[in-house]
Structure 1
Amino acid sequence: MGVRIIAEILRPIGDIARALDSIANIEFKELTLAKGQYLYLVRICEHPGIIQERLAEMIKVDRTTASRAIRKLAANGLIERRADEVNKKIKRLFPTEEGKQRYPLIQRENRYSNQIALTGLTTAEADTLAALLLKVRNNVAGDWEYVKKGNRRHY
């Protein structure tokens, strides 16, 4: 596989991600969710009690970016930090009632976006695409971890 083929795969993935993120950011402004915060709120609703480091890993962002988004969500009353029952230094993240009320709308938008994205694909094609994208994500995850730890890739 040459570089040309890789660019043809990664560029459309980036285009899709940026387009859907832009749409969500515009549509979720009315929910007092600033740029990209919906991603954090969804993961916290799906994993109540998650710690910030694990959340950052799930979303594939650095700690500083995650910390900023979490601070804003807490300031807007959508999530709360609670000390771990065993280790008080560990802060666990939970959605507030207000945060939980926003979750269904975000889920509906996600289902709709998936439906639009898969328009014209058969069920088999959609399943194959999903499986292949998981493989691609897993391939990239190793490099993400490596670089996140301060290493440089050699290409």
Structure 2
Amino acid sequence: MIIILKLKLRSKLIMEMNFIKDLSKSVSVTYRRTQMFYTEKLKELGISSGQYMFIVCICENIGQTQDELSQRLIIDKSTVAKIVSQLETKGFITKNVNPKDRRAFSIFPTDKAVAIYPEILKIKNEWHNKMTENFSDIERDVFEKLMVKVMENSINNCQ
């Protein structure tokens, strides 16, 4: 009885606040819930919700520079430098002077990063499945394509 009442109240609150019709709120709530999920799941791996995507990108693009990492993740260079430094301190990556440009560093995953990479992908898949659990295959495909368009539009319209 209490659970049903809580669900009705939560549903009513969402409807009253027009979350369904307000894209910004929907994106914001989804982002916050995503961060909560990743924070909980990733803490046992010794990384944060802000660091996992760096490990994935570094494992998938071995030897890239910090600038290339910044471009791939669409994150500003100062944030990339900060997180790369954190990951280096934790032993997940190493940086070597780039032989093509002595001013730049090439980034490499350590065995520690390579070891958790498959687990990160499992966690990522788990969350994607939870977010789209009531979707048909067609809805999931359309949703993924629309989200890419939304992301591209946000990048192109907010420099």
Identity of matched residues, % = 23
Matches within 5 A, 1:10-49: 10-49=24-63
The Cα offsets for residues 114-153 of structure 1, whole Å up to 9 and x where unpaired, read as: 1111111111111111111111111111234x2xxxxxxx
Could you say which residue in structure 1 is the equivalent of 2:153? 139
Q: Distance in 1 between matches of 2:34 and 2:133?
A: 15
Say whether the 8 Å CA contact 2:37–2:127 is kept in structure 1: no
Could you say which residue in structure 2 is the equivalent of 1:60? 74
Q: How much has 1:19 moved relative to structure 2?
A: 1.0
Q: Give runs of ≥4 in structure 1 deviating > 4 Å.
A: 4-7
Q: How much has 1:34 moved relative to structure 2?
A: 3.2
Q: Which moved more, 1:135-144 or 1:120-129?
A: 135-144
Say whether the 8 Å CA contact 2:65–2:98 is kept in structure 1: no
Unmatched runs of 5 consecutive residues or more in structure 2: 1-17
Unmatched runs of 5 consecutive residues or more in structure 1: 147-155
Question: What's the TM-score once normalised by structure 2's chain length?
Answer: 0.81
Number of residue pairs the alignment of both structures matches: 142
Q: CA RMSD in A?
A: 2.0
Partner secondary structure for residue 22 of structure 2: helix
Q: Distance in 2 between matches of 1:35 and 1:131?
A: 24
Q: Distance in 2 between matches of 1:46 and 1:7?
A: 37
Counterpart code for 2:66: Q
- Is it true that 1:123 corresponds to 2:137 in the alignment? yes
Q: Which moved more, 1:48-57 or 1:115-124?
A: 48-57
Task: Summarize the Cα distance change of 1:6–1:62 in structure 2 as closer, same or farther, 3 Å threshold.
Answer: farther
Question: What's the TM-score once normalised by structure 1's chain length?
Answer: 0.83
